[in-house]
Structure formats: structure tokens, C-alpha cells
Amino acid sequence: MRSFGRRSLFVYTCSFICAIAFAQEPPNVHLKHRVFTHWGYNRAQFSASNIHFEGPGYDFILHDVVANDAPKPFSLAVYADPADLTLPQYNYRVGWFFNEHWAFSLGMDHMKYVVAQNQSVRITGSISDQRSQEYAGSEDHMITLSDDFLIYEHTDGLNLLSADADHFDLLSTSRNGKNALFLTEGLFVGPVIPRSDVRLFGVGINNKFHLAGYGAGAQLGIFALLNNRFFAQARIKGGHIELPSVLTTGTHEDRARQRFWFVEENVVIGVLIGR
């Protein structure tokens, strides 16, 4: 997706949706008591965060660590192949409109989080020589995050499973009453279950999926309903993720914790079920 620019898919989809011609006439479309499902893809940005590592022989904090997402470069071979649908950063959701303006849904945002290698950060705390002779000592200095010191990723991924409540404001409808444009605003909250791939002092594994914390925030989007059945939605969401229990090297005693803010842009397509 990088070949199109950082947010090009989100921007192009917003432009396409907003370019649909609508006329101000009474709508025939309706949302109440209809079920919906959607699938799409995302990009994400993260604030710098402190990561606290603890285990036998060490207890230290890396300060203001920078991390990025890791999208698959856009190609039809990946994004249009059913066998590869879960390789990029994806979103899926099912929900229900309990009236014309409010929907409740459950789903997952599969983001990816990768600490940038070879960045220089401040380290405070202590590391014993039993754990690492190279990095042993009481620390309060700058350190480079080289591969032999730390590799830290939530790439399988940073999975936010959330319950969402969204409000839909009708902006316009088409002349035939089958197409409509809505503004959506909502809130979300739910657990974060990453699969963290960590190497600390050269030791680690790609861990199992693990309940590491939770996320919560708000979102804003444009929802275009087509032929009273299909829809496209472009949305931006932002929130806070708290991870008090991240698996690291694969042993029960070794853990990390962190918290950070995130912004996510996603584009999805879906279908409304029922009449």
C-alpha cells in the first residue's frame, strides 16, 4: 500500500464516496432492525511510548520508543486473493441497527505494531550480568535498539476486539431513494489480544495469542449506502491502548507493559441484510 502513499487508499475512497450525486428528497432507504457485516483494511499510527521490561535478572524501561505499522504493499495478488485476505492489516465486523440512527456491532481491527530498529532511546533500570553480560549494569543512558538487544513487534497482530456504538446522521438521498449518504460518529471499547514477536538479549519467540490489555476511543466516518443493500465506509478512529501484560521471551516470568495512543484509518465494504 506504500506505493500509493501513506493514506492514499483512505483518501481516494473518501473522495469516491463524497463524489456520488445525491438529491434532497424523502428517503426510501431505512436502517432499523437490519443486520450488517463488513470487511476492509487499515493503516495506523502510534504515539511514542515507554516500554517496561521485567523478569529474572532485569527490570528496565525504554523511554519514548517509536513504532510504526507494517502494511502489505498494495497488489491485487494479495488484496483480491481470498487465500491472502488476512495478510494485510484488516478489519471485520457484524452489527445490528436497533433504530434508524443507532447501531451496535462487534468486530476486530487487526493492526500491526513494529518498534523501529536502530533508534536511540533512553534506558533506565538495571540488568544483571546473569541475564546479559553485554548490557549488564545500572542503566540511565542512551541505547541503540539493535537486533541483538531488542526486536519487539505485535505483527500477528495488534488485535483490538471491540464493541462499537455508532450514531448515523442522514446527509442526503438519491432521487430513486435507493442510495444514501450518512455521517457516522461512535465510541468503541474492548480487549487487545496480540501475538507478540519479541527477542530480548537475543532470546525470544513469536508468542501465542494473549490477552494483554484493552483499548478504547472514538471514531468518525462517512457511510455510503448503495441500492439499499451494499455500502462503502471510510472512517478514522483514535484512542488509547493499555497493555499491562505483554508476553516477551516465552517464559512466564518475562513480561513487558506499555501504553500508547493510536490513530487508525480504515476503508471497508459491506452488505445490509433484511428489509
Question: Which domains does the chain carry?
Answer: 2-45+65-117+149-273 (2.40.160.20)
Banded model confidence at residue 13, pLDDT cuts 50, 70, 90: low
Q: What pLDDT is stored for residue 43 in this prediction?
A: 96
Banded model confidence at residue 138, pLDDT cuts 50, 70, 90: confident
pTM: 0.86
Name, in order, each residue with C-beta under 8 angstroms of 63's C-beta and a sequence gap of 6 or more: 50, 121, 122, 123, 124
Residue-wise pLDDT tens digits, 155-182: 999 999 999 999 999 999 998 889 999 9
Q: Over 80: is that where the pLDDT of 95 sits?
A: yes
Average pLDDT over residues 86-96: 92
The alpha-helical segments, DSSP class H, found in the chain are: 8-18, 76-79
Q: What pLDDT is stored for residue 1 in this prediction?
A: 40
- Of 205, 256, 233, 258, nearest to 39 by C-alpha is 233
The proportion of the chain whose per-residue pLDDT surpasses 90, expressed as a percent, equals: 78
